[in-house]
Amino acid sequence: MDGTDAVSIQPQDRFVVARLRGQLSTQTVAATRRALVDLLRRSGVAADLSDLRLRDPGCVSVFSAALQQAGGWPTAKLAVFGADRMMLAQLRCLSDDAAVPVADGLPAALAAAARPPVPARRSGTIAAGDPRAGVVGVTADSDEQELSHILDGAGKGEGLVRFTRDWLGALLDYDVEHRSDLVKTLSVYLDCGGDYDAGARVLGIHRSTLRYRVHRIRELAGHDLGDACIWLNLHAATRALARVVGSPDHLPL
């Protein structure tokens, strides 16, 4: 699998256990998807992720992508188990994660794969105008828990620095070179839930200035702030930066 190996066994009729090993990244995700699709076209799959490491957070979408390419449920049946904290956090914040059940162990994964997918439930509300409005599975009252999961998964020390650089690197470099405040702007904007009026008040700038800065952030970072998973990872990265350096006002990374 070009860096991710799959070892499959046959635990019972019509299902295999695909034990994924190695690192899931932008370099290995295509091969991982092809391998999963090949397996799904032959049998149901319970994917064991306990030996898989996540390099690029968005790559966990490979599971739902593979399921869809193989024909979707019930033509193809897939569930995953054994995910570590980082991977579990990413699976939870994907808007389409209900398509691929996440189980605690093999028996639960086999049972979940055999059942129809359960639509994601909303446990709270999102303010009107929030760029995440309408994104399934993302709620304002669950953000803090999701941020905690992501930060716990990123670890401490070098792991936290690496996570911060992965998500904020382009903005950090731009701020250093141009003596601007885009990272601080992003942090406040996310903390305010995408409310331009509230963010502008906190920053002491005009609403239109904040809108321009957010537009510039989108251009430089190349991130879609309307994507729930990206929103949460960027929010976690600004929190991680504060942990690493004490405040987004100081940019040492």
User: Residue 4: what pLDDT?
Assistant: 55
N-term to C-term CA, the chain: 33
pLDDT at 140 over 70: no
**Residue range 15-23: mean pLDDT, rounded:** 89
User: Residue 28: what pLDDT?
Assistant: 84
- Partners of 52 in the β-ladder: 22
Q: CB-based burial of residue 158 (10 Å sphere; 0-12 exposed, 13-18 middle, 19+ buried)?
A: exposed
pTM for the whole structure? 0.52
Cis status, amide bond into 74, omega within 30 of 0: yes
Tell me the pLDDT tens digit for each residue of 164-182: 888 888 999 999 999 999 9
Q: How confident is the model at residue 147 (pLDDT cuts 50, 70, 90)?
A: low
Give the chain's domains with CATH numbers: 4-113 (3.30.750.24), 140-245 (1.10.10.2840)
3-state DSSP assignment of residue 142: helix
Instruction: Output 144 or 22, whichever has higher pLDDT.
Output: 22
User: Residue 117: what pLDDT?
Assistant: 75
SS (H, E, C) 8-41: EEEEECCEEEEEEEEEECCCCHHHHHHHHHHHHC
Work out the angle between the directed axes of helices 182-191 and 228-245 (0-180°, nearest 10): 120
Q: How confident is the model at residue 125 (pLDDT cuts 50, 70, 90)?
A: very low
Q: To 10 degrees, the CA torsion angle through 204, 210, 213, 219?
A: 160
**CA–CA dist 251, 29 (Å, integer):** 32
- Partners of 48 in the β-ladder: 19, 81
- Partners of 47 in the β-ladder: 18, 80
**Range with the poorest average pLDDT among 14-23, 107-116, 201-210, 221-230:** 221-230
